[in-house]
Amino acid sequence: MCLAIPGKIESITGDDPLSRMGRINFGGIVKEASLAYVPEAKVGNYVIVHAGFALSRVDEDEAQKVFEYLKQMEELDDLKEAGP
């Protein structure tokens, strides 16, 4: 199953809004994602990521709720196996 998952932006590279990339922490699993769709996103923000693209910002409380649901469903293991 493909899900959009919240993650916290740890760092951002690139100055061009279309090529900005972020290192996103998904509850301990860190992956790269494009920030082209969320030009307002900053380090420390939570974003919803699907297929390598951050789609929107989300507040921390909502992100934590989703992490808890994913842990209960054991879906975070699938994210580890998916690779970078």
Q: Is pLDDT above 90 for 30?
A: yes
Domain count of the fold of the chain: 1
Q: Is the pLDDT of residue 49 over 80?
A: yes
Is 84 a residue whose pLDDT tops 70?
A: no
Mean pLDDT over 11-18 rounds to 94
Residue 59 belongs to domain with CATH number:
2.30.30.140
Given a contact cutoff of 8 angstroms between Cβ atoms, the answer to whether 22 and 54 are in contact is yes
Residues 63/71, Cβ–Cβ less than 8 Å: no
State whether residue 21 is helix, strand or coil.
strand
Is 73's pLDDT higher than 90?
no
Integer Cα distance of 7 and 30 in angstroms: 9
Q: Which domain holds residue 40?
A: 5-81
- The type of residue at 69 is Y
